Amino acid sequence: MQDDPLFPDARLYNSRIVDSYIKLLKKRYRHVQIDEVLDYAGMQLYEVHDQSHWFTQEQINRFHAIIQQKTGHTNIAREAGRFAASPEAMGTLRQFTLGLIGPSKVYERIGLATARVTKASAYQSRKIAHNCVEIIVSPRPGVQEEPFQCENRIGFWEAIAEMFNARVPRIEHPQCLFKGDSICRYLITWEVQGSAIWKRARDMSMVALPFVALLFGWLDMHLALVAIIPGLVSLILGLSLFAAHQEKREMRSLLDGLQSTSNELIEQMEVNYNNARLTNEIGEVITSQTNLEDVLTQVVQLFEKRLNYDRGLIMLANPEATRLVFQAGFGYSPDKLLLLKQTAFHLDRPEAAGLFVACYKEQRPFLINDIREIGQQLSERSLTFAQEMGSQAFICCPILCEGVSLGILAVDNLSSKKPLVASDLSLLRGIAHVIGISLRNAELIEARSRQLRSILHTLAASIDARDPLTAGHSAKVTEYALGICQELRLDSEFCETVRVAALLHDYGKIGVPDAILKKPGRLTREEYDIVKTHALKSREILEQIHFTGTLGDVPAIAGAHHEKMDGSGYPQGLKGEEIPLGARIIAVADFFEAITAKRHYREPMPLEVAFHLLDKECGVHFEERIVDAFKRYHRKNFIQEWREDGLLRKVS
């Protein structure tokens, strides 16, 4: 695979190469405008900061050409190569080198380090002596490097030896690609480290000690024992101590570098972990929630928990797609939150030039590390808004689904932290895409839910419509039942089940003749027995509908709304807790609506009488806590009726 020809636009050079140049420019050539350099090279600053991004040969060529022109330094590439291993740069080469013992090991394994920053050439090294190596650089097929890249490599070789406190190595370059050869061949010779020199002197002294002792012992035994031998031993000890001291200094320097590198790696691991957890948790939220508001709220909470941004928000287009509306966010102070909600982000005005609007309309993301960089591109109103919000660096991504803009996702930092990079943008774009799919799914589910509700209301109304006096009965029972659920603080899924069951609780009356349903007088026992069959028929009919999830309880609840707490109800004679909670709730709502509405055989009962009957039936027909919950609900929501019936005065 390494010998396969590469395309002209192949991405060959890692962003860390360019990043070391940028750091050099900021350190030593502050007059150079970085944005102008990157713009000429077709690069973005967030791409440079992203260690997973790669550039093409053309981009690198243009980048070198412009910085050579701006700095006036013809050998800037070599200087950048040496700078890449400096403490200020803390580049990949330095990270790799500090993990090894000395320059020899680094040069021997240079291919591992260079593979992280370039795909353009293959590097091979061979040890010639203890302080000399040969490195051969072979370009891959289809790659056309430039002479400045050879100079950049030489700068690298020089920096490696200097990192170990050695002087600049001697580099011979007998073969060069740019002099007609097929490879670049380098012979690198460096000075041995100070500790190694002192160790060698100590070792030589130890070897010489026996011979010197014998020589002086033969000449003058007394002198040898009193002066020569103790002096040589002291010399050896001194050399050992000094060599150890030098070695400790060298090791301390290496350890300092390793600690810095380790901290960077740990930080990156934590970022990767949080990103993976965020993606997984967002997936869980989307699969477990169908309510749009709940999905957005939980996604934003995950952003705040997992991502290292000061603030974040989600805005969606209104149904008419005329403006963006704030939906959820984190990190905003109350006054900034109010500003967001009150600011109109118009989508239907051609002159609107804000980044949120541009992101939505153009369906492209924005990554800005300094809001001042784009001040001239914003309208006066947009610039004022950005200043009032206090943003310094931010990312804004469109929320899309099937090519249609649904809204925008944005995060920002109030004060400059580490620069936002392309991987930040990629992560948020991926999340925005998932949110877009989730929004579309939520819309489809909501549309199906509206369709189901419409069908259910139509079915309920078709039964109630058989008699003008019972028209709206099912809707009113549903209203009361949901009010009881609210007072009991039951969850939304259970409330939905009760709502559907309440709407259809009397559907079995479709099998009861009109003559009985509309009879103005009292029913006979036989007629009443026929009416009683409607509860079982409701259950049997509803069981033919494929209710899923918690709605699967609808038939049982609807069929048991005439059961009583003491077991005297119908159709099954269930007792107490045997009766589904939803049925116990509907029983109270159904009874109250029936006795407070006009019927063929009587006028509606006053509220005082109706509540008295409810209280009387507690423990017999109804559960007491449900009756109490209904009374609380009714008083809160029908206060005028309580005043008219004088109930408020009597209660107080």
Question: Phi and psi dihedrals of 193, rounded to 5?
Answer: -65, 150
Does residue 211 have a pLDDT over 80? no
Using alpha carbons only, how large is the chain's radius of gyration in Å?
41
Q: How far apart are CA 559 and CA 547, in angstroms?
A: 15
Q: What is the mean pLDDT of residues 584-603?
A: 87
Residue 334's identity, in one-letter code, is: P
DSSP string spanning 219-267? H-HHHIIIIIHHHHHHHHHHHHHHHHHHHHHHHHHHHHHHHHHHHHHHH
| Superfamily of domain 11-189 in the CATH hierarchy | H-NOX domain (3.90.1520.10)
Q: Which of 142, 162, 164 is nearest to 154 (CA)?
A: 162
Q: Whose structure tokens read 């190596």?
A: 133
Residues 485, 491, 492, 497, CA torsion sign: negative
In a 3-state reduction of DSSP, which class is residue 189?
strand
The predicted-structure confidence for 612-631, as pLDDT tens digits, reads as follows: 999 999 999 999 999 999 99
Q: Into which CATH architecture does domain 465-651 fall?
A: Orthogonal Bundle (1.10)
More confident residue, 459 or 480: 480
- Residue 164 CA from chain centroid, whole number: 41
Q: Which two tokens stand for residue 412?
A: 């920002």
**CB-side neighbour CA atoms (13 Å) of 418:** 12
Angstrom distances, CA of residue 87 to CA of 30, 115, 155, 393: 18, 21, 15, 27
Residues 472-497 have a mean pLDDT of: 93
Q: How far is CA 574 from the centre of its chain?
A: 51
Superfamily of domain 290-443: GAF domain (3.30.450.40)
First to last CA, the chain: 89
State which amino acid sits at residue 146.
Answer: E
Q: Which two three-digit tokens encode residue 382? A: 């947009």
Separation CA 103–CA 161 (nearest Å): 6
Q: What does the block give as tokens for 393?
A: 């660096």
Q: CB–CB of 44/367 below 8 Å?
A: yes
β-partners of residue 132 are 129, 189
Report the number of secondary-structure helices (H) and strands (E) in the chain. 27, 12
| 512 CB neighbour count, 10 Å cutoff | 19
Q: Which residue type occupies 421?
A: V
Record the tokens describing residue 435, joined without a space: 């949110």
**What is the rounded distance in angstroms from the CA atom of residue 158 to the CA atom of residue 392?**
39
CB 35 within 8 A of CB 70: no
Q: Going by C-beta distance under 8 Å and a sequence separation of 6 or more, which residues neighbour residue 437?
A: 286, 401
pLDDT of 482 reads 96
Structure confidence at residue 633 as a pLDDT band (50, 70, 90): very high
pLDDT on residue 62: 93
Among residues 298, 303, 308, the alpha carbon closest in space to that of 270 is found at 308
Average pLDDT over residues 569-578: 94
How far, in Å, CA of 616 to CA of 598, rounded?
22
pLDDT, mean of residues 331-357: 84
290-443 and 465-651: identical CATH topology: no
What are the residue ranges spanned by the domains of the chain?
Answer: 11-189, 194-268, 290-443, 465-651
Distance CA 36, CA 45 (A): 11
List pLDDT tens digits, range 378-419: 667 777 777 788 877 888 999 998 889 999 999 888 765 667
Please give the pLDDT value at position 275. 60
Average pLDDT, the chain: 80
Most confident of 26-30, 60-64, 143-147, 377-381: 60-64
By the 8 A CB rule, do 579 and 621 touch? no
Q: Which of 13-17, 92-96, 155-159, 494-498 has the lowest mean pLDDT?
A: 92-96
* DSSP for 281-308, written as a single string: HHHHHHHH---HHHHHHHHHHHHHHHS-
CA-CA distance, 123 to 38, in Å (whole number)?
28
Q: For residue 359, what is the enclosing H or E element?
A: helix 355-362
Burial of 179 (0-12, 13-18, 19+ CB in 10 A): exposed
- Token pair 């924005």 is at which residue? 366
* Partners of 184 in the β-ladder: 137
611 has pLDDT over 60: yes
d(CA 386, CA 207): 76
Give the tokens for residue 555.
């038939």
What pLDDT, on the 0 to 100 scale, is given for residue 79? 87
**Residues 534-566: tens digit of each pLDDT:** 999 999 999 998 888 888 999 999 999 999 999
